[in-house]
Structures are given as structure tokens and as C-alpha cells.
Amino acid sequence: MKKHTPKATFIPIIGLLTFTVILFAIFYSVGWASKKSDFFKIKEIIINSNNGAKIGFDYLKGRDIFTIDLEKEEDLALRIYPVCKTVKLIKVLPNRIFADFVIRKPIAYVRLYKYFHVDEDGILFEAPLGLEQFDLPVILGLDAKIFGPKKGQRCEVKELTAALKIIKNIRKNTAFSNLIIKKVDAADMGSISVFLVLPSATVNDAGGKVTEPLEVLEVKFGQGYINEKIDILGNLFVQGRNNLDNIKYIDLRFNDPVIKFKES
């Protein structure tokens, strides 16, 4: 009997190994060449944000685009810039990075040892040094509730959460479209009060200055059922919109709303 020779079997394997080695050498050479060449070094950072703000990513310029860990750089940007809600970096070959980020939108100030901006998620971030009157409502009474506040910190204090919910729901209700939320006193969870500027006070949009005396109405919310209470308040405002100037406060802490009129 003839003996079978293994030569025919080994030829395809040797060819495959040779091809693999050559392919590896090509990729290695290309990778090595890219590191030594300026062709793949980042020359431009394309910035896109929801409000046109500029966040600095210039430190990435000059680095090899293949060596950058995008997730690591995104996490770093979120730590450095707490005002950013999201950051997304995309490599655009051969030498550009596209940076897309969403800036947090403040809905109020929180007065602590200094003023902070706060967004609807309860994240604190820097507020401008000079506060414009009627720019945003101010949340008061949380000095003893929030300790050592830091930029980028999420505050899960129940009083702050309630105050933010009141602000958001009042703004969504069309019954309050002509009103301005001046401040929210959230010192006591059982007696949270909102102070609303009535339409009789004219506000200059350009300078934020009042040209007539303020007419401020206090609304006492208390704890719980915020959505329902705002609906009740909206109905009261629609029914008595011509008589709001004569009301000192509205108390929604009980089953039936209590209206206290000013003394004549």
C-alpha cells in the first residue's frame, strides 16, 4: 500500500500563517508610522453645545487621535465642568475631534453661604457674581439642610426637591403665565411658601428693573400633593384674577384653601 504524504495538508496552513504574519507587519508598520507622523495628530476641536457655550478641549490638540480614550476624556470633562449635563466626544479622522455637550439650564438660585445655580435635577453649579433682579427665583432657608455644597453636587434634600417641583409646575401651568416667581422659602417642609409677583408690577425685560411698586402674593403650600395644590391655585387665580391685589396670602395646607385678604 502507498503511504499518504502530509505535504498537501501543510501547504494551505503555511500559506495562511505567512499571510497573517505579512498582514500583522503591515498593520504594525501603519500604526508605527501614524505615531511618528503629524497626519493623525489632532489639529482641531469642533465644539457644539445647546447654548453656544465654549468648553475647553484644547489640551487634546497635538495628541495622536488613536491614543485618546474618549470615555475617559468625557468623564474628565464632566468632573471639570459640572455645568455640563452630558458630554460626547467623537473622533473625526484624520485629525479632528467633535465635542457635543448639553449645558445644564438653571431654574433657580439657592442661597447658601453664597448663591448657586440649581437645575431641575437638583445639581448645583456656579452662579454669576452679580444677580439680576427677577432673573430666576431664589430658594431660601436651606442653610441648615445642605452642608459643604460643591459644584456638580446633586442635592437630594427633600425641601429642595419640593421647591424645585413647585417652581417647575407653576411654570408649566398657563394660569400663571403672567406671574413671576420671586422666591421660595423652603426652611420648613411643613410650611413651604412661594412668593409670586403679580402682573400689576411692570418689569423691564432689558434691565430687569421694576417700574412700578411690587405686588407680591404669598402662597403657603406645606407638604405633599404639590401637583393638586397647584391645580387648585390655578383655578383660584382664574376665578379671582381681578382681585388678586387685595389678597395677602393663600394657604393650601388644609383640605380647603384659606384666603387671607389685606386689611383695608
**How does pLDDT run across 161-220, given as a tens digit for each residue?**
999 999 999 999 999 988 899 999 999 998 899 999 987 644 555 555 555 556 789 999
Q: DSSP assignment, residue 112?
A: S
Query: Highest mean pLDDT: which of 42-51, 84-93, 147-156?
Result: 84-93
Q: DSSP assignment, residue 124?
A: E
SS3 content of the chain, % helix, strand, coil (to 5): 30, 25, 40
Amino acid identity, residue 50? N
* Domains, the chain: 44-103 (3.10.20.310), 108-261 (3.40.50)
10 Å Cβ neighbour count for 141? 19
Closest CA to 142 of 189, 96, 102, 202: 189
CA distances from 185 to 29, 105, 162, 244 (A): 67, 21, 11, 21
User: For residue 170, with 0-12 CB atoms within 10 Å meaning exposed, 13-18 middle and 19 or more buried, which class applies?
Assistant: buried
Q: How confident is the model at residue 112 (pLDDT cuts 50, 70, 90)?
A: very high
pLDDT at 53: 65
CA dihedral 263, 212, 177, 221 (to 10 degrees): -40
* CA 190 from centre of chain: 28
Q: DSSP assignment, residue 182?
A: E
* CA 152 from centre of chain: 10
Report yes or no: 125 and 151 within 8 Å, Cβ to Cβ: yes
Give residue 134's region: left, alpha or beta (phi > 0; psi -120 to 50). left
pTM > 0.85: yes or no = no
CA distances from 4 to 1, 9, 44, 89, 243 (A): 9, 11, 64, 60, 108
- pLDDT tens-digit series, residues 1-27: 455 555 555 566 666 667 676 766 565
Beta strands in 19-137 (DSSP E): 44-49, 84-92, 96-103, 108-111, 115-118, 124-126
Length of the chain: 264
Q: DSSP assignment, residue 240?
A: T
- pLDDT tens-digit series, residues 87-101: 999 999 999 999 998
